[in-house]
């Protein structure tokens, strides 16, 4: 197998990678680096978790360092476009140690936060801007930035940008870059709107496909649990109360918020991630999930791309998605970078036909089991002793006017939680990856013990349990250590529970992020 140096990566950058524990390139990196380092336009297709981030940040840093063009105020030398704020933040975390080793300066640009620090950073001069399209377009329009000095442009998750309706603004941004600059486009699929960008902006691109577009990793085990409406929530709680990180996907923002409250009320520390949260809350919740202070993340499809957290052993589709591509991207939060993982879809009677079509189009053959709370399969899918934490008391104080929870005080009417930390995989190196605006988690966990034999009762609302001495959730058959320490204060709703969750949404309904 080739090393990074064999592929043309400068020694200084290879040493940074080695310091992060990265010694061997992934297939997408081995395929694209010789061309991208040579300055050619590159089209790279690889499924989520395949290592695309290093495939483009390495040539960006190497080529900018070699060109030695001086920084100029408001005129970045390279542009990396990403569809979501979280992905932009994690790309910058991957990029930062490499850029620092070569004396380059980076900046993230996205909405949901104040523009002034970004304007100040642009004015000071920057080599690489990692941006979401909308906010960058605002800076161009207001005269705070120009793209006429961009030597390299990268589009990451291009198909997702097309799905989100960003193509018009992406075209305007790329039109503002020099025509003779290098362009790289990375995506899980290269069809539809992505092809429009390829035809318009890329010059004789070298295309590299490292997997089938609709193919799930072989390390991923797929299960469908056929449950009754009233059993959906107890079964879900049974799974997420096991040790280890779990991502739970819902179809709507309201469902994500409601389900997070219900899980916390049932004794499972959980945080939410969806488009209704302010950016600081999104950062804090993602940090809580990354550092282990909350090991369950309840999210809409906003988290289906670009959320890179180590050791997510289980993904649960609480609401099956409409499209098979969404299923594959959601599921891709586990079994990343060659690790093993499990994907569980909760299916009720009225969803059987839709789930059958979904899995067929996704190219998978899941194991389908009729399950109720306490079914032996649940312990196999999520190994380890179940544990529960008493939910925090709800503060009677009104919410802070800024829209964010006050430190140590849960916020009224919100499921947003608090946190601290950063998660890492090969796409988010250990030198970075920590979300912005971190606030340390407050307090400590109060825990007692509960046996697996009483899972059904616990799933229906038990408030206490133990984590001490429990085995970690297995990944690839090997025990994993549980990470994290302090509690995660969240505003909780004591009403709803299984009845509210079982109301559900039918596959094919309207999506909301």
Q: What is the DSSP track for 273-313?
A: ESTTS-HHHHHHHHHHHHHTSS-EEEE-GGGSSS---TTEE
- List pLDDT tens digits, range 165-219: 888 999 999 999 999 999 999 887 766 678 888 888 999 999 887 654 444 445 6
- Greater confidence, 279 or 504? 279
- List pLDDT tens digits, range 304-338: 665 667 678 899 999 999 888 788 878 877 755 55
Q: In terms of DSSP bridges, do strands 206-209 and 42-45 run parallel, antiparallel, or are they unpaired?
A: parallel
Enter the tokens of residue 178: 């020099």
Can you list the alpha helix ranges (DSSP code H) found in 191-265?
193-201, 232-240, 253-265
Residue with tokens 């133990």: 466
Domain locations in the chain as residue ranges: 11-209, 220-502
Alpha-carbon span 45 to 28, nearest angstrom: 8
| pLDDT at residue 102 is higher than 70 | yes
| pLDDT at residue 5 is higher than 90 | yes
- Greater confidence, 492 or 235? 235
Task: Provide CB contacts within 8 A for 477, sequence distance 6+.
Answer: 340
| Dihedral sign for Cα atoms in the order 394, 396, 398, 402 | negative
Q: What is the pLDDT of the chain when averaged over all its residues?
A: 77
Alpha-carbon span 341 to 475, nearest angstrom: 7
Q: Which fold has domain 220-502?
A: Rossmann fold (3.40.50)
- Greater confidence, 331 or 36? 36
What is the pLDDT confidence band of residue 149, given thresholds at 50, 70 and 90?
A: very high
What pLDDT is recorded for position 137? 96
8 Å CB contact between 318 and 250: yes
Residue with tokens 């390139």: 25
What pLDDT is recorded for position 470? 37
What pLDDT is recorded for position 423? 35
Helix (H) or strand (E) holding 15: helix 11-19
Give pTM, 2 decimals. 0.57
- List pLDDT tens digits, range 300-309: 887 766 566 7
What pLDDT is recorded for position 307? 67
Among 118-122, 246-250, 282-286, the range scoring the smallest mean pLDDT is: 282-286
- The packing angle between helices 11-19 and 52-67, to 10°, is 140
Compute the average pLDDT of residues 39-52. 80
Among 39-48, 50-59, 71-80, 146-155, the range scoring the smallest mean pLDDT is: 39-48
What is the pLDDT confidence band of residue 84, given thresholds at 50, 70 and 90?
A: confident
What pLDDT is recorded for position 507? 41
What is the pLDDT confidence band of residue 371, given thresholds at 50, 70 and 90?
A: very high
Helix (H) or strand (E) holding 136: helix 133-141
Compute the average pLDDT of residues 218-231. 88
Q: What angle do CA 394, 395, 399 make, to 5 degrees?
A: 115
Q: In terms of DSSP bridges, do strands 78-81 and 367-370 run parallel, antiparallel, or are they unpaired?
A: unpaired
CA neighbours closer than 13 Å in the CB half-sphere of residue 73: 6
Using a pLDDT cut of 90, give the percent of the chain over it: 48
Quick one: three-class SS letters along 346-394?
EECHHHHHHHHHHHHHHCCCCEEEECCCCCHHHHHHCCCCCCCCCCCCC
What is the pLDDT confidence band of residue 428, given thresholds at 50, 70 and 90?
A: very low
Decide if domain 11-209 falls under CATH 3.40.50.300.
Answer: yes
- Greater confidence, 345 or 49? 345
Alpha-carbon span 274 to 290, nearest angstrom: 16
Residue with tokens 């970690």: 472
- Greater confidence, 503 or 5? 5
Alpha-carbon span 325 to 500, nearest angstrom: 28
- Cα-atom radius of gyration of the chain, to the nearest Å? 23
Kindly provide the b/e burial profile for residues 368-384, where b requires at least 16 CB atoms within 10 angstroms of the residue's own CB: bbebebbbeebbebbbb
With CA atoms as reference, report the closest residue to 332 among 76, 100, 87, 57.
Answer: 87
With CA atoms as reference, report the closest residue to 224 among 347, 136, 330.
Answer: 347
Using a pLDDT cut of 70, give the percent of the chain over it: 70
Alpha-carbon span 475 to 281, nearest angstrom: 30
- List pLDDT tens digits, range 441-499: 333 333 333 333 333 344 444 333 333 333 333 333 333 333 333 333 333 333 344 44
What pLDDT is recorded for position 304? 65
- List pLDDT tens digits, range 387-415: 898 877 654 444 333 333 333 333 333 33
11-209 against 220-502: fold identical? yes
What pLDDT is recorded for position 333? 76
What pLDDT is recorded for position 277? 86
Alpha-carbon span 272 to 300, nearest angstrom: 9
Other CB atoms within a 10 A radius of the CB of residue 234 amount to 26
What is the pLDDT confidence band of residue 157, given thresholds at 50, 70 and 90?
A: confident
With CA atoms as reference, report the closest residue to 20 among 69, 48, 53, 46.
Answer: 53
């Amino acid at each position: 197998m080739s090393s990074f140096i064999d592929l043309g990566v400068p020694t200084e950058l290879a040493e940074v990678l080695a310091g992060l524990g990265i010694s061997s390139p992934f297939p997408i990196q081995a395929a694209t680096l010789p061309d991208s380092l040579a300055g050619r336009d590159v089209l790279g297709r690889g499924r989520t978790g395949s290592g695309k981030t290093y495939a483009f940040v390495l040539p960006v840093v190497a080529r900018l360092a070699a060109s030695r063009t001086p920084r100029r105020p408001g005129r970045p030398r390279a542009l990396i476009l990403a569809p979501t704020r979280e992905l932009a933040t994690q790309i910058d975390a991957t990029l930062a140690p490499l850029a620092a080793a070569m004396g380059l300066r980076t900046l993230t640009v996205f909405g949901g936060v104040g523009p002034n620090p970004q304007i100040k950073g642009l004015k000071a001069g920057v080599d690489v801007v990692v941006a979401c399209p909308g906010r960058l377009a605002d800076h161009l329009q207001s005269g705070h930035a120009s793209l006429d000095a961009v030597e390299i442009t990268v589009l990451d998750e291009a198909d997702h940008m097309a799905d989100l309706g960003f193509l018009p603004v992406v075209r305007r941004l790329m039109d503002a870059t020099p025509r003779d600059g290098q362009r790289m486009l990375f995506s899980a699929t290269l069809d539809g709107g992505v092809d429009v960008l390829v035809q318009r902006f890329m010059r004789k691109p070298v295309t590299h496909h490292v997997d089938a577009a609709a193919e799930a990793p072989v390390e991923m085990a797929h299960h469908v649990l056929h449950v009754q409406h009233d059993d959906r929530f107890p079964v879900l709680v049974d799974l997420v109360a096991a040790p280890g990180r779990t991502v739970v996907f819902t179809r709507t923002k309201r469902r994500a918020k409601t389900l997070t409250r219900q899980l916390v009320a049932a004794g499972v520390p959980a945080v939410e991630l969806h488009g209704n949260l302010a950016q600081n809350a999104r950062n804090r919740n993602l940090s809580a999930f990354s550092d282990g202070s909350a090991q369950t993340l309840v999210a809409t499809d906003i988290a289906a791309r670009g959320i890179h957290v180590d050791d997510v052993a289980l993904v649960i589709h609480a609401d099956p998605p409409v499209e098979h591509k969404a299923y594959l991207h959601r599921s891709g939060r586990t079994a990343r970078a060659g690790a093993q993982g499990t994907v569980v879809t909760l299916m009720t009677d009225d969803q059987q036909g839709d789930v059958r079509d979904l899995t067929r189009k996704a190219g998978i053959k899941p194991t389908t089991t009729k399950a109720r709370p306490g079914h032996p399969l649940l312990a196999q899918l999520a190994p380890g002793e179940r544990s529960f934490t008493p939910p925090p008391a709800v503060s009677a104080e009104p919410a802070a006017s800024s829209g964010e929870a006050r430190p140590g005080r849960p916020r009224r009417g919100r499921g947003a939680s608090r946190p601290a930390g950063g998660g890492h995989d090969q796409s988010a190196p250990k030198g970075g990856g920590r979300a912005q605006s971190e606030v340390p988690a407050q307090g400590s966990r109060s825990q007692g013990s509960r046996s697996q034999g009483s899972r059904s009762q616990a799933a229906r609302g038990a408030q206490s349990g133990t984590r001490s001495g429990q085995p970690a959730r297995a990944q690839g058959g090997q025990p994993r250590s549980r990470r994290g320490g302090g509690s995660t204060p969240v505003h909780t709703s004591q009403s709803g529970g299984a009845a509210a969750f079982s109301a559900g949404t039918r596959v094919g309904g309207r999506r909301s992020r």
